Amino acid sequence: MIKLQVFFLVIILSTEICHSIIPIERSAQSSILADKKLFFFGGMSSQLLSSFNQILYLDVSKPFNTTNPPFEILNVSIPFRSSYATALFSPLKNEVYLFGGFMRNELNDDNMFGNHISVLISFNLENNGWNFTFTKTNGIAPENRRLINGVINNKTGKFYIFGGVNDTFTGATTNSIAFNDMNIFDTISLTWSKGSAEGSPLPLIGYTATLLSNGIIVFIGGEERPYNYNVSLNQLALYDTKVDQWSSMRAQGITLENRSYHSAVLTSDERIIVFGGDNFLNQYQLAVLNTKVVPYEWSVPTPAPPLPLTTYSHSATLVGNYMFINFGKVDYVDSNHEQLPYFYILDIRNFTWVAQYEPEQLSQLPNSTNTVNTSTTNSPGLSVETPSDNDKKIGIIIGAVGLSVVTVAGLLIGYKYYKKQRVHRYAKQAKQCVSYN
């Protein structure tokens, strides 16, 4: 009887307020735009010292204020805890491909598939189901790696992933093996192949890759020697996907600071906008690479917009004329900043930071093909949420039926503990999702 009442109460509360959440800080997640939704796969929390299996999303067809963005959690999670992977969306198949990165079962265990095995999994946006495509691929799959940035040709359905690193942590020693192979996956025939090795860059990690409409992939920044920022942004590696050929180009214009773990988006007029990054310096200018001139030309927007705290290991996605910059780390400021889920929107027409997001060009964003049901989360799936306004109502979402009173009570006690720890703005009990306030 008590069990039923508690359960009923829980259902009422969750249906009443379970709309949006304020996620825990994270970095090294992968983001893609599909179905008018901006999805964030996995990531790693430096507070929780853990990777996530969570998929967050934002409905970008609705306006919102960036101080309070309406994040939601998909009711399906990644089959493992994922970070430093690369995600690619194929509109042809309405599927997201997730490749590489750390793949953990639990917090600090080894990669669950071992370091040798590459795992490519696909997520179908129509049925919200994961598919372990790697068991069925043809060709020779690449070894597992991270700190990669893949690109997909949405007309041919082929994606391209260069380099990356396999690091193994043994006690205090990190053993890193970096790669410089171009791996191509055909999402139609499910076949892996290797691109040309001739003229390829040295092993490279932490770079960005951007596919231009002429089929050329532009590689920007990163590290040729793992964990040294020794690649100049003015020296660009290019790979022509049409003829499988490498070349390099010395970009003209201003000289930029070397950086890794930055982000890049391509505008409709073929400019690449680069934000953030790391090399233990503080702030980076926003930079724009014009690829309509040869050699390509770097510039800094004028007047230079005031920079917010520059993050690295964030994700950036272009939504119409807005560059969304999400999550990431800022390790040179006091630790309070590390807890923020950074959220910046740049209007790329005039390089201004936007506080109130107004969707535009909605006709150009494809309609949703599925309805995402956010009223539950799955395993471990216990999430404590508070509404993101100052409303004191509590919603406890339980993604499984038949939980015992003990479990529910445990959650409530957990919530009380969480409230006591509010100054820390996260709860150790509820690793999946916690609202601030």
Ligand X SMILES: *[C@@H]1O[C@H](CO)[C@@H](O)[C@H](O)[C@H]1NC(C)=O
Binding footprint of ligand X on the chain (CB under 6 A):
65, 67, 75-76, 91, 115-116, 124, 128-129, 131, 133, 136, 143, 154, 166, 168, 175, 177, 190, 202, 213, 224-225, 229-232, 258, 347, 349-350, 352, 355-356, 367, 371, 373, 375-376, 378
- How many angstroms separate the CA atoms of 244 and 145, rounded? 22
Residue among 54 and 258 whose Cβ is closer to ligand X: 258
* CA 324, chain centre distance (Å): 11
Whole-number minimum distance, CB 121 to ligand X, in Å?
10
Residue 22: name the closest of 56, 61, 46, 60 by CA: 56
Please state the closest distance from residue 146 (CB atom) to ligand X, in A: 11
* DSSP letter (8 states) at residue 421: T
Q: Is the Cβ of residue 44 or residue 256 nearer to ligand X in the bound state?
A: 256
The encoded tokens of residue 423 equal: 């100054």
Residue 63 CB, nearest approach to ligand X (Å): 10
Query: How many whole angstroms separate alpha carbon 224 and alpha carbon 372?
Result: 41
Burial 169-187 (b: 16+ CB within 10 A, else e): eeeeeeeeebbebbbbbbb
Cβ closest to ligand X, residue 335 vs residue 367: 367
Give min distance, CB of 374 to ligand X, in A: 8
The residue among 175 and 336 lying less far from ligand X, judged by its C-beta, is 175
Least spacing, CB of residue 13 vs ligand X, in Å? 15
Comparing CA positions, the residue from 77, 87, 86 lying closest to residue 33 is 87
Nearer to ligand X by Cβ, of 133 and 290: the residue is 133
Q: How far is the CB of 85 from ligand X (least distance, A)?
A: 15
What does the buried/exposed string (b/e) look like for 141-166 if buried means 16 or more CB atoms within 10 Å of the residue's CB? bbbbbbbbbbbbbeeebbbbbbbbbb
Rounded-to-integer distance, Cα 277 and Cα 81, Å: 24
What's the chain's Rg over C-alpha atoms? 22
Structure tokens at 2: 């008590």
232 versus 421: smaller Cβ distance to ligand X: 232
- Nearest approach, Cβ of 61 to ligand X (angstroms)? 9
Reference 341, options 227, 209, 434, 244; nearest CA is 434
Between 46 and 131, name the residue whose CB sits nearer to ligand X. 131
Six-digit token string for 276: 């953030």
